[in-house]
Amino acid sequence: DGGITQSPKYLFRKEGQNVTLSCEQNLNHDAMYWYRQDPGQGLRLIYYSQIVNDFQKGDIAEGYSVSREKKESFPLTVTSAQKNPTAFYLCASSNPRDGYNEQFFGPGTRLTVL
Amino acid sequence: KQEVTQIPAALSVPEGENLVLNCSFTDSAIYNLQWFRQDPGKGLTSLLLIQSSQREQTSGRLNASLDKSSGRSTLYIAASQPGDSATYLCAVRRKGGSEKLVFGKGTKLTVNP
């Protein structure tokens, strides 16, 4: 059963802590993405990766870090430098080589800072 | 800079009605456009993708059209049902190799029984 999984579904963080959100896909997609969604705002791109061992900053990368050591995995770390991390985080993947590059999303992780 | 606008922000209709959701974008040089559905607290589900060379795509009761020259796309939902209640988002991918999607803020649809 192909798809994108994100864990955990809910995450609580104390101020000053770093936390890592997991994203795994078994669609054999080269490209993966992290978005942040806040009420009343559209999705904003944090980081994206078009191939293993390579990634680029999106529109709001400050306070976040990523790695892409495996094709299937693209974890996102929310660092203590991110001043307002409470949000809904969405991971996505796509296959740029198929000519469509249709983007598919995981179920999301809701992060709350206590 | 590409901007995507969806109007209205919210729409409430009675069950059985046919309806149209609107999406407009400022730069017509797009690679493709995607329509998504999002249920509360969930991820996005891809509904339809229209390539820049296409005029429309259909899936079941859904029909999406694209008019690049005017910077507009519409999502037509036929015979709406309460289960269609969700937020619908459109997103465009820029032409020229960029992998990034630019999203609108969505239209929240409520279909009343």
Dump pLDDT digits (tens) for A1-27.
569 999 999 999 888 899 999 999 999
Q: Give burial (CB, 10 Å; 0-12/13-18/19+) of A88.
A: middle
Contacts of A51 in chain B (CB under 8 A): none
List, for residues A20-74, the tens digit of each pLDDT value. 999 999 999 999 999 999 988 889 999 999 999 999 999 999 999 999 999 999 9
List, for residues B9-61, the tens digit of each pLDDT value. 999 999 999 999 999 999 999 999 999 999 999 999 999 999 999 999 999 99
Interface residues on B facing A, Cβ-Cβ cutoff 8 A? 4, 31-32, 34, 36, 41-46, 49, 51, 89, 91, 93, 99-101, 103-106
Structure-token pair, residue A114: 């206590």
The percent of residues in chain B predicted with pLDDT above 70, rounded, is: 96
What pLDDT is stored for residue B22 in this prediction?
A: 97
Q: Calculate the CA A34 to chain-centre distance.
A: 3
Is a pLDDT exceeding 70 seen at residue B99? no
Mean per-residue pLDDT for A88-104? 90
How far apart (Å, rounded) are the C-alpha atoms in residues A92 and A109?
12
Is a pLDDT exceeding 60 seen at residue B97? no
The set of residues, in sequence order, having a beta carbon less than 8 Å from that of B97 and lying 6+ positions away, is none
Average pLDDT for chain A: 93
Contacts of A58 in chain B (CB under 8 A): 100
CB contact under 8 A, A108 and B42: yes
Q: Give burial (CB, 10 Å; 0-12/13-18/19+) of A85.
A: buried
Helices assigned H by DSSP within A21-112:
none
How far apart (Å, rounded) are the C-alpha atoms in residues B6 and A40?
12
Q: Which of A33, A94, A108 sits opposite B43 (nearest CB)?
A: A108
What pLDDT is stored for residue A92 in this prediction?
A: 97
Backbone phi and psi for residue B44, each to the nearest 5 degrees, phi listed first: -90, 140
Mean per-residue pLDDT for B79-107? 90
Q: Which of B100, B44, B95 minimizes the C-alpha distance to A59?
A: B100
What pLDDT is stored for residue B1 in this prediction?
A: 85
**Chain A: residue nearest B4 by CA?**
A42
Q: Are strands A109-113 and A10-13 parallel, antiparallel or unpaired?
A: parallel
Q: Which of A41, A96, A106 sits opposite B99 (nearest CB)?
A: A96
